[in-house]
Amino acid sequence: QVQLVESGGGLVQAGGSLRLSCVASGENIRFNPMAWYRQAPGKEREVVAISISGGRTNYADSVKGRFTFSRDNAKNTVYLQMNSLKPEDTAVYYCHHSSSDTWGQGTQVTVSS
């Protein structure tokens, strides 16, 4: 059974950058669709980026051109590079293993204006 652990969140000023990491254990995620979601206070969880097999990634319109999904198969890890952060990006960010519908515990990202 796959387990996911996120890290890399924190407090950053608007315009800054963060890189989130999600380390998977228990299963090789190399050929599995993986995704990043986020949930802001009082709002529903929303998808940020979905990486499907073949290297294709789909992004939410709100993050296109600013966020980049990547994988390190040797480390069984996925990343979310977040640049030009805005206060509206403030949320708890979650990693998701699509095949098993497994979620990580989340990592808080706070962007100050």
Residue 54 has pLDDT above 70, yes or no: no
Q: How confident is the model at residue 86 (pLDDT cuts 50, 70, 90)?
A: very high
Paired residues of 69 in beta bridges: 80
Residue 52 has pLDDT above 90, yes or no: no
Q: How confident is the model at residue 53 (pLDDT cuts 50, 70, 90)?
A: low
Angle at 52 between CA 101 and CA 57, to 5 degrees: 120
Residue 55 has pLDDT above 90, yes or no: no
